[in-house]
Amino acid sequence: MMLNQSCDAQYVSARKRKGLIVMQLKDSKGRLSGQTAHFPVAMPRLSNTLLQTSLFAAVLAVSAMVLPAKAASKDQVEMADSLTKPYHAHYVLSRRGTERGEAQRVLEQKEDGQWRYFTSTRARLLVFSDRRENETFFRIEEGRVKPLIFDYSREGTGSNRALRVRFDYDNQEVVSEGGDDVNVEWHDGLLDPNAVLHQLQIDVAGDADSWTYPLVDESGDYRDYEFARHGTETLKLPFGEVEAIRVDRVRDHNRRQTLFWFAPELNYTLVKMQQIEDDREQLQIQLTDLDMN
Tens of pLDDT, residue by residue over 233-253, are 999 999 999 999 999 999 988
Domain boundaries, the chain: 2-65, 74-291
E strand segments, the chain? 2-7, 10-17, 20-26, 32-40, 87-95, 98-109, 115-125, 128-141, 144-156, 161-168, 173-179, 210-216, 222-237, 240-250, 256-263, 269-277, 280-291
Higher pLDDT, 132 or 127: 132
Average pLDDT over residues 211-226: 96
Q: Which residues neighbour 51 within 8 Å (Cβ) at sequence distance 6 or greater? A: 1, 3, 16, 21
| Nearest CA-CA partner of 194 in 170, 213, 173, 168 | 213
Total Cβ atoms within 10 A of residue 270: 23
Strands 98-109 and 256-263: unpaired
Distance CA 172, CA 11 (A): 18
pLDDT of 232 above 90: yes
Q: Are 216 and 174 contacting, i.e. CB atoms less than 8 angstroms apart?
A: yes
Question: Does pLDDT of 33 surpass 70?
Answer: no
Which fold would CATH assign to domain 74-291?
outer membrane lipoprotein receptor (LolB), chain A (2.50.20)
pTM of the model: 0.75
